[in-house]
Amino acid sequence: MLEIKPAPTTHAVPARRWRNYYRVYHVLSLYRLGTIFPGVHGGPDVFPSKEIAEERAHSFIRAINPPGRYLMEFAGAFPEGDAAN
């Protein structure tokens, strides 16, 4: 009468590729990307995990921003196919 059935698994497959997104405040000329205008842009690289993507983004932001100024900030790491907008 009362049969116990296992709950169906509805979990999504973990993302395998993560892309960093950055918010740009000034027009920049970056050697790999060319000229970038203000707005939200995806980075050129993909990473195997969110932790690695965030670690690389934070080190990139520290390297590109001069002391006391913000030319670009980290908007987040998203699975490949999703967007920050």
Instruction: Say how many domains are in the chain.
Output: 1
- What's the pLDDT score for residue 1? 60
- The torsion angle over the Cα atoms of residues 75, 18, 41 and 69, rounded to 10 degrees, is 40
Interval 16-71: pLDDT, tens: 899 999 999 999 888 888 899 999 999 889 999 999 999 999 999 999 888 888 88
pLDDT for res 7: 75
Q: 51 is in which domain, residue-wise?
A: 18-79
What CA–CA distance (Å, rounded) separates 78 from 63?
A: 22
Q: Is residue 50 part of a domain?
A: yes
Within-domain flag for 85: no
User: 1-6 — which CB contacts under 8 Å span 24+ positions?
Assistant: none
Residue 5 lies in a domain: no
| The model's pTM | 0.76
